[in-house]
């Protein structure tokens, strides 16, 4: 029997984004990394519904020389020690690398599905950008967009729209009853 998963984008879903000169950015050091409210409780609820919790994240600042792989490792170790997360998949590339793991391509989700024997059609992607939603759609997952001030103009094709992670718990509970 295959597993089902909740794929959570990292920045803007699990942790606060960092604003640099008015532009949304990822944290570059553990000191900047701050888990958003109620994330821990939501991940517990997903586990109760028998989902794997997998974080998937694009981190192009590695290839841009702005984020050290060691610092990324510290942040991901913190996530694994603090939250009920089964795994983390990340892409260190920039758009110019044209890799299969850079969102909106589904490479990270496909890798996770293979590694953890996940049925993507019974899984959800929760994200805050069109690239997260695009990766989820390309992989065949249901998609949930968390509205943020920086994505208010996003009008692409997603299955559900919410204001916070807590609202995703109810959507997923109700969807699984069917």
Beta strand 18-20 pairing with 23-25:
antiparallel
H or E element: which one contains 118? none
User: CB within 8 A of 101, min separation 6: which ones?
Assistant: 89, 91, 93, 107, 108, 111
Give the count of beta carbons closer than 10 Å to the beta carbon of residue 89: 18
Integer Cα distance of 5 and 125 in angstroms? 8
At residue 54, φ and ψ (nearest 5 deg) are -120, 125
Q: Which are the catalytic amino acids?
A: 9, 11
Distances (CA, A) of 176 to 19, 124, 169: 36, 11, 11
The Cα–Cα gap between 48 and 136 comes to 22
**Angstrom distance (rounded) from CA 107 to CA 101:** 4
């Amino acid at each position: 029997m295959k597993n089902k998963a909740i794929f959570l984008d990292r920045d803007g879903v699990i942790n606060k984004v960092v604003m640099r000169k008015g532009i949304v950015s990822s944290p570059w050091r553990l000191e900047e990394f701050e888990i958003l409210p109620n994330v821990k409780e939501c991940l517990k609820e997903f586990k109760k519904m028998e989902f794997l919790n997998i974080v998937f994240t694009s981190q192009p600042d590695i290839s841009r020389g702005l984020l050290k792989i060691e610092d990324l490792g510290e942040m991901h170790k913190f996530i694994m020690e603090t939250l009920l997360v089964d795994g983390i998949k990340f892409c260190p590339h920039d758009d110019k690398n044209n890799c299969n793991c850079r969102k909106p391509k589904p490479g990270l989700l496909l890798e996770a599905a293979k590694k953890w024997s996940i049925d993507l059609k019974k899984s959800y992607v929760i994200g805050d950008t069109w690239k997260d939603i695009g990766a989820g759609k390309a992989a065949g997952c249901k998609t949930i967009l968390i509205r943020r001030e920086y994505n208010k103009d996003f009008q692409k094709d997603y299955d559900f729209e919410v204001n916070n992670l807590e609202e995703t718990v109810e959507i997923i509970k109700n969807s699984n009853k069917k």
